[in-house]
A and B are shown apart, each in its own frame.
Chain A
């Protein structure tokens, strides 16, 4: 489905990362792969370092830290917030919603709508869509979108399929009314038939966690994981991305009568370096228009890779000029989504390290 919006835009982005840095090389011995194989894997996939949250740090900790930082530095006024949208796959609890916990701890007004959304790698675009929908209401002027995950805790130490790429973190994005903002186009597709291509089998009500679901079992490739762990059909996801993303981009170019020349940057979710390079090659997009340095430096933190990408790579450029971009997410659901928009005049665009309070 295509959604069209006017008079609203992103006005600030803050990324919050846990300070602990894990190196791929330090974990090689956990994997059922020779050293040579592992080094080849890390070269092709672009594994380097990733940020991992402590066992006792949850997403509400990361989000509250980020929001307090914005309040204290006069970058966001507490009483200007009309809605708090939190996109996550790793809530603090099944209930209450984590956004309500955050609102309560920060003593936000009772007028603030709190909304948790369960989405992963397309979570930035789905969260923005929800923010835009709310901003179409005359009483809503400012929406805070939180993307946060600590998914590393759900990945088996002995799973070289997922472990070396998953990182943790959070981002805060402010979206608000602006009469001078350019038109926005949001495209979203979902395929529930492939929902289990990326999943955590146990821990919900269909299959509660138990001593049995925590038993590690070896798969055909020698990776060990339990039913409590994240499991991903890597090849199916790869084919899905190579198939659906170019198709959606082609459609968007035709639909909006634009071409690659009209786009300054493709700010796509970064599953790993390999996948994004193959995608750029297939779509004949120059590598420098599709920044691909997040996974190797911070890890793949699901919905935060796109805002993190903007903070890491475009902060300085955005101070000088506006950029026409396509934000893109693809993954869990399976969901794929693109937002064609202009990034301009951000009040803040930076990365901070989380510190335990």
Chain B
């Protein structure tokens, strides 16, 4: 998840992220960011998540869990 962490920091335009950070609280959190995350997860891990999946994740930690659950 290290690469993903780097990518997320880049997408969200922040220096640090923590598992407890609330996704909606990021200034950059909008529909474009969501699409960029969907595309990044597809190109990095070859798995597909959609905005319904993302709606269920509230925090960075939950986003990681969502991706891990799809990887299995």
- Contact surface of A with B, Cβ cutoff 8 Å: 33, 37, 40-41, 44, 161, 221, 234-236, 238-239, 242-243, 274, 278, 281-282
| Contact partner, A282, options B30, B31, B35, B43, Cβ 8 Å | B43
| Contact partner, B30, options A221, A234, A278, Cβ 8 Å | A221
Docked Cα-Cα span, A33 to B32, in Å, equals 10
A236 pairs with B30, CB closer than 8 A: no
Label chain B's interface by main secondary structure: helix
Q: Does B67 contact A (CB under 8 A)?
A: no
Q: How far is the CB of B57 from chain A (nearest CB, A)?
A: 14
- Contact surface of B with A, Cβ cutoff 8 Å: 30-32, 34-36, 38-39, 42-43, 48, 50-51
Docked Cα-Cα span, A307 to B48, in Å, equals 31
Docked Cα-Cα span, A221 to B42, in Å, equals 22
Docked Cα-Cα span, A41 to B36, in Å, equals 11
Q: Taking CB as reference atom, which chain A residue is nearest B32?
A: A41
B42 pairs with A44, CB closer than 8 A: no
Chain A residues positioned under 8 Å from B31 (CB to CB): 161, 221, 234
B50 pairs with A239, CB closer than 8 A: yes
Docked Cα-Cα span, A41 to B35, in Å, equals 11
Q: Taking CB as reference atom, which chain A residue is nearest B53?
A: A235
A243 pairs with B48, CB closer than 8 A: yes
> Using a Cβ cutoff of 8 Å, how many contacts connect chains A and B?
37
Chain B residues positioned under 8 Å from A235 (CB to CB): 34-35, 38, 50-51
Docked Cα-Cα span, A277 to B51, in Å, equals 21
Docked Cα-Cα span, A239 to B48, in Å, equals 6
A239 pairs with B42, CB closer than 8 A: yes
Q: List 11 A-B contacts (CB under 8 A).
A: A33-B30, A37-B30, A44-B36, A235-B34, A235-B38, A238-B38, A238-B39, A239-B50, A242-B39, A243-B48, A282-B43
Chain A residues positioned under 8 Å from B39 (CB to CB): 238, 242, 274, 278
Docked Cα-Cα span, A243 to B43, in Å, equals 11
Chain B residues positioned under 8 Å from A221 (CB to CB): 30-31
In the complex where A161-B31, A221-B31 touch, is A278 in contact with B50 (Cβ < 8 A)?
Answer: no
Q: How far is the CB of B69 from chain A (nearest CB, A)?
A: 17
Chain A residues positioned under 8 Å from B42 (CB to CB): 239, 242, 278, 282
Docked Cα-Cα span, A44 to B10, in Å, equals 14
Other than the given A161-B31, A238-B35, 20 more pairs (CB < 8 A) read A41-B32, A44-B32, A221-B30, A234-B31, A234-B35, A235-B34, A235-B35, A235-B50, A235-B51, A236-B50, A238-B38, A239-B38, A239-B42, A242-B39, A243-B48, A274-B39, A278-B39, A278-B42, A281-B43, A282-B43
Docked Cα-Cα span, A25 to B17, in Å, equals 33
Chain B residues positioned under 8 Å from A238 (CB to CB): 35, 38-39
Q: Taking CB as reference atom, which chain B residue is nearest A41?
A: B32
Docked Cα-Cα span, A338 to B51, in Å, equals 28
Closest 9 CB pairs of A and B: A221-B31, A239-B48, A235-B51, A235-B50, A41-B32, A278-B39, A242-B42, A235-B38, A236-B50
Docked Cα-Cα span, A207 to B50, in Å, equals 28
Docked Cα-Cα span, A238 to B30, in Å, equals 17
Chain B residues positioned under 8 Å from A161 (CB to CB): 31
Chain A residues positioned under 8 Å from B30 (CB to CB): 33, 37, 221
Docked Cα-Cα span, A239 to B42, in Å, equals 8
Docked Cα-Cα span, A243 to B42, in Å, equals 9
Q: How far is the CB of A346 from chain B (nearest CB, A)?
A: 36
Chain B residues positioned under 8 Å from A281 (CB to CB): 43
Chain A residues positioned under 8 Å from B34 (CB to CB): 235
Q: Taking CB as reference atom, which chain B residue is nearest A240?
A: B48
Q: Taking CB as reference atom, which chain A residue is nearest B52?
A: A235
Chain B residues positioned under 8 Å from A37 (CB to CB): 30, 32
Q: How far is the CB of A158 from chain B (nearest CB, A)?
A: 14
Chain A residues positioned under 8 Å from B32 (CB to CB): 37, 40-41, 44
